[in-house]
Structure 1
Amino acid sequence: MLKEKINLYLEKHGLGHFCPKAVLFDMDGVLYDSMPHHAIAWQESMARFGITMTAQDAYATEGARGIDTIRHFVKLQKGEDISLADAQTMYDVKTHIFHTMPEAPIFDGVLDVMELLAHHDITINVVTGSGQRPLIDRLLRDFGRFLSKEHIVTAYDVDRGKPYPDPYLMGLRKAGDLLPWEAMVVENAPLGVQSGASADIFTIGVNSGPLPDQVLYDAGAHIVYQKMTELRVALNDLF
């Protein structure tokens, strides 16, 4: 199935052999089972500022820069265009609440996928809407065998976050100035999928959250799996 979807992607873009040099992973909900914690932190922090945000809202806006999400909901519910500084202040509260919670576990299959990619000389890269220093430090701690700081894109590397293509275009640059068809994206959220697909990169959805698969397909995913372990099997077959 994966090979068939890749062939359709190649045909659409008028390309020949598919030989990826990099995989660009989202972080939350792809590498870490952290979204339940983020949903709680979003709800509690925004409530302090008079903003209503549900768990469904947290999943639907996952992947966007936190300050962009905050400005969106403040505009929607209060009709105000708040400054980036004010949004950052609110985001700092959300960050504090998140870091009072237990550390989110790594999803089963993640390290196996990275081992497989490294074996085939495919670089590991992370493109996240987060800018939280402790989370970036944890990426290097957990995946330092495969990942370097230079191959991480954060919220502060781009002016426009997901769903715009900018984060994944920056990911291509940091991966070695690659062309879109020289990489693959692994995402779990609609905004992230849209970002990867709009950058013309082959985009794989891993649906670790409560949204229907069709939401990811509608956002542009070329194929959707339920778990990273399923992706590991598919990549092994592909290679």
Structure 2
Amino acid sequence: MGQSNFEKLSNLTQGDYQAFLYDCDGTLTDNMPMHTKSYVEVAAEQGVVFDPGIIDELAGWPIMQVVEEINRRYQSSLVPEDFKARKAQIYNTRYLDHIKPIDYVVAHLKANAGRVRIGVVSGGDKVTISRTLEILGLSDLVEVLVCSGDTERGKPYPDPFLKAAELLDVAPDKCLVFEDGVPGVEAAKAAGMHWVRIDQFKFG
């Protein structure tokens, strides 16, 4: 019988780590399609149509940076602050309460809480991510939460992960990052941290 995803992930994460830092959207919860729908709906309200694949491509970027990139690629004039507020309204009212966990990653976090320090580092807004962790039953296990706006630069820059390490008082090279997107992996690399791409079971 082959290994379960939980066993595969656990085998990748052996080592002298003092903190595990998890991305949230697409890593702890399978909600990226819901985020994509909310992006598309808000843009459509303003007459803008874009390739939804851009959302997966930029997974982990703060919302306002994603909107700026959509504007750049499509010569649109979406207002990032307004877009962010409207997207949060749509996502939180239509989709948030229906999210499902990525079971093996949630189980991994629960199994390691108390053994290492636990942080969540997300490009999402703090209110939505806090509610997400509550729905997933993880709120009491997460010691540090770093979200959009907590650092001047978001992923793919290292700042959010370095901020989490600082708050946990753990050296960056003793942190292991769990991510589902390229920008998050790039941010972990830039922070001098090891990382696991959970959807591909890749370690670096």
* TM tier relative to shorter chain: 0.7 to 0.9
Over 3 Å counting, the alpha-carbon distance change for 1:97 and 1:2 in structure 2 is: closer
- Among 85, 106, 115, which residue is 2:110 paired with? 115
CA distance in 2, matches of 1:3, 1:123: 16
The one-letter amino acid of 2:29's match is Y
Answering whether residue 154 of structure 2 is matched by residue 165 of structure 1, we say: no
CA distance in 2, matches of 1:46, 1:132: 23
CA distance in 1, matches of 2:51, 2:126: 22
Over 3 Å counting, the alpha-carbon distance change for 1:78 and 1:64 in structure 2 is: same
Q: CA RMSD in A?
A: 2.6
Q: Which residue of 2 aligns with 1:40?
A: 37
Determine which structure has greater relative contact order: mean sequence separation of CA pairs < 8 Å that are 6+ residues apart, divided by chain length.
2
Q: TM-score scaled by structure 1?
A: 0.72
Aligned residues: 194
- How far does the alpha carbon of each residue in 1:159-197 deviate from its partner, in whole angstroms, 9 at most, with x for none? 111111111111111222x22211100000111111111
Q: Which residue of 1 aligns with 2:125?
A: 131
Q: Which residue of 2 aligns with 1:183?
A: 175
- Where structure 1 has 5 or more consecutive residues not aligned to the other structure, the ranges are 8-17, 208-212, 223-239
CA distance in 1, matches of 2:26, 2:53: 14
Q: TM-score scaled by structure 2?
A: 0.84
- Among 1, 21, 25, which residue is 1:24 paired with? 21
Over 3 Å counting, the alpha-carbon distance change for 1:5 and 1:123 in structure 2 is: closer
Instruction: Among all aligned residue pairs of Structure 1 and Structure 2, give the percentage whose two residues are the same amino acid.
Output: 22
Q: Which residue of 2 aligns with 1:73?
A: 70
SS in 1 for 2:99: coil
Over 3 Å counting, the alpha-carbon distance change for 1:20 and 1:97 in structure 2 is: same
Stretch deviating more after TM superposition (24-33 or 127-136): 127-136
- Where structure 2 has 5 or more consecutive residues not aligned to the other structure, the ranges are 1-7
